[in-house]
Structure 1
């Protein structure tokens, strides 16, 4: 359902903007198994329950291995289109009005998928998502930090080729420790020349130096995660002064052991310092989360839904007419009611993710 402005009707828990969601990581286990069957691809588990067991991560590296072992089953243009549409339906039920979807084309191309199928599938899915659910979707392909520079340049070239099909930025993902951002500066410069913004991951499992590198070497427009910036007051001041939005994903950080517990999460400290933080699920199917849950968790950490939405508007890589419509949705929202709903849900969410691994 959508309103006359063309956006999804907000849920009772308020409108939401999600700037950090890996589309491959949105596919729920039952759909993943279906894709594996129709594409004759093997998964490390044959049941929904088996995949759920696989998603009990020891640390970030274990998560990456599981991600690679499962997402390869997506092979066709129809698969990629379905991924976007399915997640738009899920996110719309939680009140999402705008999404920026991440995907990793190199992993697919490396396994023999044509790059055109990947980009056209996701782009067509974005169009269908808006038509069916009123959710605006933009695309931000990722460069993997494990790639040699020339391969990273190729990903940037692909992204620029599809700038007229909803690609608005380019990211940097994968194992952060041992893979600093600086070597990828040429690829991000190429993307910038093609009109794409830099939205790299940084400051998730590596410290403030990673965030500084993303800003200085890559010209980051926004930082995905960035939570380790809380360790450096000077860096936080810089983020505030430059208006850099962080895409924060609390449940993801807990599930990958980037933080030991929700009580240890830096979101509250970042907000106290004035850093603008949007909120996102990262890989919701793999982390057992969704947008409603993330907002309940964030409320328990002291975040206000109004501020998270405002940061999302500021950080979105959209055209100005879309940004204006997003602002109008925010201005028409009864945020007091939304805040009460979030606070009511926060205790249950905190109990779920504070109860040890069995609660996940």
Structure 2
């Protein structure tokens, strides 16, 4: 039996398979640097983190319509369900679409929201959404994004994140956008501690981050580890992503065992599964090689989930049994955050 799973860190734009991306690009009149499936797969063979970001921007700008956005949610929901996912907290990046192509906020948010509804209806998979800003985003655009995200809170938005190149600049310019989201009931879930270390992580924590997407560089600093554990901050760990972007050189060097030994809760995730040639099952296989069981990963995912309490309680009842390896109710799981 496939073990039940929770995924908290997957970029929907990075989950689009090459054949689907080609179809969407052609329909929207977008020219890609490769016009075959094999060509796109070759394009996805990243040389470093900067290369990955360049390719990500170039390819994901193909998405233009509400139906495009709906489709990527539904397509990935089926893939995740087939690997045992029962709850998915997915990321999308609306500000780039607005800035680069003038697509309306409502076109974007409606498409993703409708995709989440369809995923529940067709696959029984609960999907919640966390829009992402990006480092370097114009401040006014970031604040508009936060405002729209709050407006869509009753249509599946549960948090606000920020991604992009950590080395490009600090989070401080986005303090107001973060505050708009927090005041509107959307917690802050930034990328930090992937390509950069202590300063990036500490800044995110100081701005009220309740989860860190990646956060693996915290393993280099005992004081940060202590703070993360004491605050109950969950790290969203993505093993294959870390290897493909070169922030971790090989699996044996991955800091996941050190993080777990320090008592940090680590969810297991795909990040950009189509671009990295992975899936949720594969990530859990890698995590198990690093000492993280299905029950460990599920408990961390549950602790970090931002969905409403009724959903958490239902998802808690589906957890893998930590004693037998079978799927069953959790009797001594983490305290659920309201």
Scaled to the shorter chain, the TM-score interval is over 0.9
Question: In the alignment, is residue 262 of structure 1 matched against residue 239 of structure 2?
Answer: no
Match for residue 174 of structure 1?
A: 164
Shift of residue 65, structure 1, vs aligned partner = 0.4
* Aligned residue in 2 for 1:65: 54
Map residues 108-147 of structure 1 onto 2, 5 A cutoff.
Answer: 108-110=97-99, 111-147=101-137
For 1:67-216, list aligned pairs within 5 A: 67-110=56-99, 111-216=101-206
Q: 2:24 maps to which residue?
A: 35
SS in structure 2 opposite 1:169?
coil
Cα distance between partner residues in 1 of 2:67 and 2:310: 30
2:260 aligns with one of 271, 288, 311: 271
SS in structure 2 opposite 1:205? Answer: coil
Q: CA deviation at 1:334?
A: 6.9
Gap runs ≥5 in structure 1: 1-11, 339-360
Q: Equivalent residue of 1:329, what SS?
A: coil
Moved more, 181-190 or 117-126: 181-190
Which aligned runs of 4 or more in structure 1 are off by greater than 6 angstroms? none
Rounded to whole Å, the distance in 1 between the matches of 2:323 and 2:24 is: 41
Q: Runs of 5+ in structure 2 lacking a partner?
A: 328-338
Matched-pair contact (CA < 8 Å) for 1:14–1:333: no
TM score, norm. by length of structure 2: 0.94
TM-score by length of 1: 0.88
Instruction: Confirm whether residue 49 of structure 1 aligns to residue 21 of structure 2.
Output: no
CA RMSD in angstroms comes to 1.2
Q: Please state how far the C-alpha of 1:279 moved relative to its aligned partner.
A: 0.6
Is the Cα contact below 8 Å between 1:182 and 1:214 reproduced in 2?
no
d(CA) in 1 for partners of 2:272, 2:169: 21
Query: Equivalent residue of 1:239, what SS?
Result: helix
CA distance in 2, matches of 1:79, 1:150: 26
2:325 aligned partner: 336
**What residue number does 1:353 align with?**
none
Q: Secondary structure at the match of 1:57?
A: coil
Matched residues in 2 for 1:337 and 1:169: separation?
A: 31
Shift, 1:38, TM fit = 1.2
1:292 maps to 281
CA distance in 2, matches of 1:207, 1:90: 33
> Are 1:230 and 2:219 counterparts?
yes
